[in-house]
Amino acid sequence: MVKDISDQNFESEVLKSTLPVLVDLWAPWCGPCRMVSPVIDKLAEKYEGKVKFCKLNVDENQQTAAKYSVMSIPTLLFFKNGERADTVVGAVSEQALKPKIDALL
Catalytic amino acids?
30, 33
> Long-range pairs for 96-105 at CB < 8 Å and ≥24 separation?
97/22, 97/39, 97/43, 98/43, 101/20, 101/22, 101/43, 101/47, 101/51, 104/20, 104/22, 104/51, 104/78, 104/80, 105/20, 105/50, 105/51
